[in-house]
Every structure is written in structure tokens, then in C-alpha cells.
A and B are shown apart, each in its own frame.
Chain A
Amino acid sequence: MSEEKKGVSRRRVLKTGAAGLVASGVAPMVFTRGAWAQEFRNNPTGAEVTLGFNVPQTGAYADEGADELRAYTLAVKHLNGEGDGGMLNTMQPGSLNGNGILGKKVAFVTGDTQTKSDAARDSARRMIERDGALIITGGSSSGVAVAVQALCQEMGIIFMAGLTHSNDTTGKDKKRCGFRHFFNAYMSGAALAPVLAAEYGTDRQAYHLTADYNWGWTQEESLINSTEAIGWQTTSAVRTPLGAGDFSQYITPVLNSGADVLILNHYGKDMVNSLTQAIQFGLKDRQANGKNIEIVVPLFSRLMAQGAGENIKGILGSTNWNWSLQDAGSQAFVKSFGAEYGFPPSQAAHTCYVQALLYADACERAGTFYPPEVIRALEGHLFDGMGNGPTEYRAEDHQCFKDVLVVRGNENPTSQFDLLEVVQEVPRAQVEYDASIFGGELGPYEVS
């Protein structure tokens, strides 16, 4: 038939299809089974060990991401014995001596999370599959942290979370390979509530504006719980889209709601915008129920304070770390960061720097890069001299427990960086909670 000549025959299509099927069946054996020759994924066999730094370089949290990357670069320098060593000299117990990790020189690759779960997982996969990154660390969003942490668990790669404040990261979405040094929303609420009661009284009406994603929800929930425990009432809790830019439509209703405290569950550029606009609307000069309207920003950072300028003055919040702390670890870190970049580090930089060092230290103590052993070395690890006083990596949920800082926007800053004044260092015991309250399961050590 003439059909035979000009067209593809059924037989040929079947043959091609069969070849494709065979290829798809055999190829994975060839390519991925090779991985079994080594003990675990990305086992560093050469003279170098590669770390993957996955930070937001674009989007609402780009400022934090840039600072995280600076901190990581500095950490790599210190680990390789360049510079003044920073916290390597102050951490207790410390097994790092500027000799790389387990004698291997530290190299790194970077990726842009774009503060999107998809993009973050893509760049993490690229670093793991192509660049051979042994661990993934960084990030400035809880949504991203949860997504990347799940990916790392599947791949058997350790994830040292960067700035992530949601309860879920080490709560309902905790994973065996994920570790968080940063504090969380529950701790913010528990640390802030007594200070709020002392400053603003126990009879207040709170209005929440909340970034509409994972972190915002858990912070809103934690803050509502802890403020209602001191007798406050919650007028309303309104969700705003991440990266909204213009918050005026959300702030106008606050004025007519009868609330006398505005709680901004925002972070990064969102918080800068919402706070600035709230001040521009004259919220701070108004009264409701016979009291001055107050604004609270539960999660504070110096970078945001810098962005918000004058508006930050007198506003209460909590933070993981501030560069003005006087302990030896903080001072060593601030000194070497300042010498390198000419300004003090943010809390995002601090937590990332500490995470990199803690991982390196855990490898040294475990004597191997084999993830299950490194995880065991981190679980329940007690350390000090890294800026937050005595700290424990709790084994049950991989959350660090340490003192939390309640801070206030400085009324009389002495320099452009002296923006936060520490009101109280809330002791660990006050912010501690039972690991089971958020549910979740860590999962197995070994990944098949």
C-alpha cells in the first residue's frame, strides 16, 4: 500500500516505543545505581567538600538573603583557616581549627530561592544533583524551608535551615535531616507576652495583620494564644498577601475597629511597608478606648529596622540575636563580619553563620560526613559561645533552645546600625515547650 511508503508503520512505532521503554528501564540502573558504589549521596571523595547555600537573592526577602550569603562566605573563610577565625575561637565545645571539615577544604555553590517553594527546590536539586553539594543550608522563608527540608529528607541530604520562624519547620513538618537554630513563633509569643503586659497593661484589644502564608499563620496563632493568656482580646485577624507593597486598604479598617494594639505579623519588605504606612496614617498619634494605639512587630530584625527608619522608634518585638550583644561569641562574629564588609551582621547572617559552623563541628565530632552519624552528633548537642548563651539542639524536634531577646526600636540611636535596644533577655525556661504539641514525625535516619 502507498500508505506504507509515506507514513510510519505501526511496526516502526512499536519498535521505537519499545526502544524508549527499554532505555527508560535500563538507564536509571546505569546512572543512579552508580550512586550505590559510594556509601551515601555526594560523599566527598576529593580534597574538597561542597556546601550548598540556598538563599533568596530576589523577592521580598532579598536583603536577608544577601546578608546570609555574606555570612556563609565568611563562615567558609573561617572554616578554611582564613581571616581571624570568628566564632571558631569562642564556640564551646569546639573541635574546629581552621583546617576545613575533616581535613577537606570547604567550597560552596549558591542558588536563588526567589522565596518560592518551587524555585527553591529546583535550585536545591541543581546543587545536589549537579554540583554535588553535601548539605543545603539557608533560606529566609518558612514556606521555602519546609519545602526544601522535605526534598532534602527524600534525597538523604542534611538541611541546616536559615531564617525560618514558623512553628511548622520543627513542628508538624519536622524532618530527620532538618535542623533549625533560629527561634520560632511560639517562643516569640511566650517571650513577648509578659513584656507587653508590663508595658501596655492587661486590658487591650489586639488587631492582627498577617502575612498570608505558613509563617504568618503560625505566628498569628502563637501571638493570639499568648496575648489572650495575659487577658488581651483579639478584635480581628486579617491576612495580607505576601509582597503586597500597599497596605493602606488593610490599615484603614484598623482605625475604626476599636482595637488599641496593632500586631504586624509581617517580615522583610512587607513589614517595612506596613509599618511605614501605619505610621503615615497617624496610628501612633491616635487613641482608642482611652489608650494610645500601640504597634507591635513580633519578629524584628535590624535590616527591617534600617528599612523602616524613624518609624521603628519605640516599637516592641522579639529577635533571635542582635549585634549589640556583649558576649564573646557575638563580639568575635561582629568584629570579623565588620572587618570584612564594613557593617554589623543581621540576625539572618548570624543564624546562617552559626548553622554552617555547627554542621562542620558535628562532622568533626562524628568523624564522618555520613548523614545519619552527623544527625546523631547534632541531636541533643549542647553548646555555648555562639551568641545566644548555652544552647541545646533538642533531639525530639531538631529545634535549638536558648534565650530569646525582646527588643525595642531605639529612641536615640548612636549610629545608623544602633537601631534595636534589648529590653529583656528572656530565659530559655520561659519559652520552652513540649516537643509533642505541634505533632509531626521526624522519620528515619537512613534514606533508602
Chain B
Amino acid sequence: MLTLPKKELIKFVIFAVVVLTMPVWLTPFGASYPGLLQKFAIYGLLAVGFNILFGLTGYLSFGHAAFLGVGSYAAVWSFKLLTMNAIPAVVFAVILSGLFALAIGYLSLRRSGIYFSILTLAFAQMSYNLAYSVLTPITNGETGLQLTLQDPRVLDLAFSEREAGLPIVTLFGIDMAGYGGFYFSAVLLIAGFFIAQKITTSPFGLVLKGIKSNQNRMNYTGVNTRPYTLAAFVISGMYAGLAGGLLAVTDPLAGAERMQWTASGELVLMTILGGVGTMFGPVLGAWIMKYLENIFSAFNENVLHGFFAFLPDNLESVVVLIASKFVGEGWHLTLGLMFVFVVVFLPGGLMEGYRRFVNRFFNGGKAKAEAPDKQTQPAE
């Protein structure tokens, strides 16, 4: 059950090494601090899960943020009611978001294509509005659900006294707010990546690919595709729930804006930016998005002046004036430009860029006729 084809195994090992050594190789980029590392691992997981639905099955969900939010709320409630241990929180997050995905998927998957996207968007927006105002007793509305000093925490308080300050999330004694939280998320990301690889190479994954390439033909050959799409949707939703739970584990707060449609849109952007349907692509896209968001939005004019200080004064102020529109509050502009560039020149995302690069320089310019995933694969 823990076997993989050799090619996939190499991918897996590379991926695991890259993820676990992130604190080292991200240092020169100024991104090696726990807050961002955790985001990298968590949003990578989210993108891996999303890719099972969008990349593999071809269903574009515009409402995945809802599952992220459900996961977060479930995890924070687990902290509040049961224990500050991360395990139950994550388990509840996955279960609850799975149930939620089952309900939404059951209704939305009656349609495909753009209608499916709109349905998921509608459900996610409903969830957001519910969380934002109607369900305030459960979600604490705009302020977000937080830990308080008076939380019941039944399991914790059965064994120890209430401490003076707010408790912290732990995994059997390891503090989840710093690097501990990153490694916890990273291990789950690697596990999630492995499961996604297993799904991709399994007969089940083959059916999903079949649905993507031509669902009607699948139906005509007598395959009832509905259970398969629903399963893919629920699995993908559970990944999102796990990511949401991890967000709460590393920072015990759940806000409604996590469910907003912009969050879902961001996820779609990540996947397209990296490369739909590839294993690494979505994760790469997620990392780049989060990096840009954190690093570019932090630049202010002082930083720019320091950066361009070598230029003559007049030129410097002009350059800073122009550059300042693309950083700080304007970082979305940079993202937008990059997205346009990728979609126009590399429709397959950054992974296509990588393949073209490899083809040009290492295969003597001969374009490979077929991409790996178009090879006919023997049924196992």
C-alpha cells in the first residue's frame, strides 16, 4: 500500500527534502521565519488538495475557501472545548470539512463546467455570510473566533490546573506557534503529497483523469461518474479542512474572511500560476503567492530608497515613485502582471516553463511529443 512507481518515488523524495529543508534554503530570501514557513506548508497542502479536484478531475471549484474556514472553526472549537493538543483539532477539522464538502458536493456536482463553479461560489459566499453575521454565536463574526481565559477545555483541565495566561497549542509538549508548527504542517504536507500521488497513480485516479478528458464518453461506457467526482470533491475538501485546521493550530484564531470568495480565487490563481494538473506546480504557485504577499507588501518607500540609493537623486525619486506602485499596498499589481505573463506565455504554468527549459537545453531542442501524464498507463 505504501508503494509508488519509481518516477513518482523520486518526485516524492525530492519534495520531502525540499520541504523539510525550507528553513535553510529560504534564509537568503528573507522568508525563513516561522510565520511564513507555516503558511508555505499549509497553503501547499491546500493547493495539493485543490489540484486533486481541479487538476485531476477538471472541476473548477470557486468555493474551497469555505472548507478552509470550516476546518479553522472546527479546530478552534476543539481548542476551546476539549484540549490544546493539535491532534484532535486537526482530526475534527478534517471530519467536519469532509461532511461539509459532502453536502455541498452532493448538490453542486449535479452540474459541471461553469455552472458547477458558480454553484460552489454561491455556497462559499453563503457560508461566508453565515459566518460573518448570522452564526455569530458560533463564529464570533468579524472579530473572529478566539481563545479566552474562560474556555471549558474539558480534557486539559481534567488533568491540570487553569494557568494564568492564555494556553498555547501544543503537540505533546512541542509548542506549535514557532518552528514546531512548521514541522508539524510540513510532515502533514508531505503525507498529503504522498496520498495525492497514490490517488493519481491509482485506478481511481485514472477514472478521474477520464472524467477530465471526456465525461460523456465515460458515461456512455457505462461508468457512473457521480460517485467518483463526489469522492474527489470530498477528498479535496478534506485537504482544505486540514489546511484550515493547521492555520488554527499555528495561530489559534478563525476569522470569517478566510471563507471569502477572494480566498477561493487566490487558490485558483495559485494552482494556475504553478501549473494545473502537475504534482509540484500548485505547491510552487502557493509558495510564490504567499512569498509575494508577505515580502512585497512589506516594502515601503524607505526600503525602496535604500534599495535604489546608488542612483542619482533625481532618477532615484522617479524610480522609487514608479516602483512604490508595485510594492506595499500595490503588491496585487505585481501579482496581476505576473499572472497575465504566465497565462499568456506559459498557459501550463511555471511547470510548463520548467519543461520547456529542460527540453530546450537538455534535449537538444527536440520538443518531446508527449507530456508524461499523456502516456498510456497500464492498469494495475
Contact = CB atoms under 8 A, between A and B. Distances in A.
Given A27-B23, A28-B180, A31-B179, A57 B329 contact: yes
A443 B166 contact: yes
A241 B133 CA distance: 9
B255 A116 contact: yes
A289 B149 CA distance: 49
A143 interface: yes
Nearest to B7: A6
Interface in B232-290: 251, 253, 255, 257-258
A125 B187 contact: no
A20 to B, nearest CB: 5
Contacts of A155: 177
Given A126-B298, A239-B133, A147 B143 contact: yes
Given A116-B255, A118-B255, A441-B149, A7 B3 contact: yes
8 contacts: A9-B3, A20-B190, A28-B179, A28-B183, A123-B297, A130-B30, A130-B35, A147-B143
Given A112-B328, A126-B35, A448-B165, A6 B141 contact: no
Contact of A110 (B12, B20, B300): B300
A214 B174 contact: no
Contact of B174 (A6, A24, A130): A24
Contact of B183 (A27, A112, A117): A27
B329 A62 contact: yes
Contact of A443 (B5, B13, B165): B165
Given A117-B144, A143-B143, A123 B179 contact: no
A23 interface: yes
Interface string A18-33: 0011011101100110
Contact of A213 (B33, B39, B142, B329): B142
Nearest to A110: B300
A206 interface: no
- Most B CB contacts (10 A, CB to CB) among A28, A110, A111, A168 go to A28
B151 interface: no
Interface string B345-361: 00000000000000000
Nearest to A107: B302
A13 B298 contact: no
B352 to A, nearest CB: 28
A158 B257 CA distance: 26
A24 B294 contact: no
Interface of A: 3, 5-10, 13, 16-17, 20-21, 23-25, 27-28, 31-32, 57-58, 62, 109-112, 116-119, 121-123, 125-127, 129-131, 142-143, 146-147, 150-151, 153-155, 168, 173, 212-214, 239, 241-242, 441, 443-444, 447-448
Given A24-B180, A58-B329, A112 B297 contact: yes
Interface in B160-188: 164-166, 168, 174-175, 177-180, 183-184, 186-187
Given A8-B3, A130-B30, A444 B328 contact: no
Given A7-B5, A168-B143, A214-B143, A24 B300 contact: no
Contact of B23 (A9, A31, A168): A31
Given A20-B183, A143-B143, A147-B255, 18 more contacts: A7-B3, A8-B3, A8-B12, A20-B187, A27-B179, A31-B178, A57-B329, A116-B257, A117-B253, A121-B253, A131-B298, A147-B146, A147-B253, A150-B146, A150-B166, A212-B141, A214-B142, A443-B166
A150 B253 contact: yes
Nearest to A145: B143
A332 B30 CA distance: 40
Given A3-B3, A6-B5, A112 B329 contact: yes
Contact of A6 (B3, B142, B144, B165): B3
A155 B23 CA distance: 21
Contacts of A168: 143
A6 B328 CA distance: 49
Contacts of A112: 297, 328-329
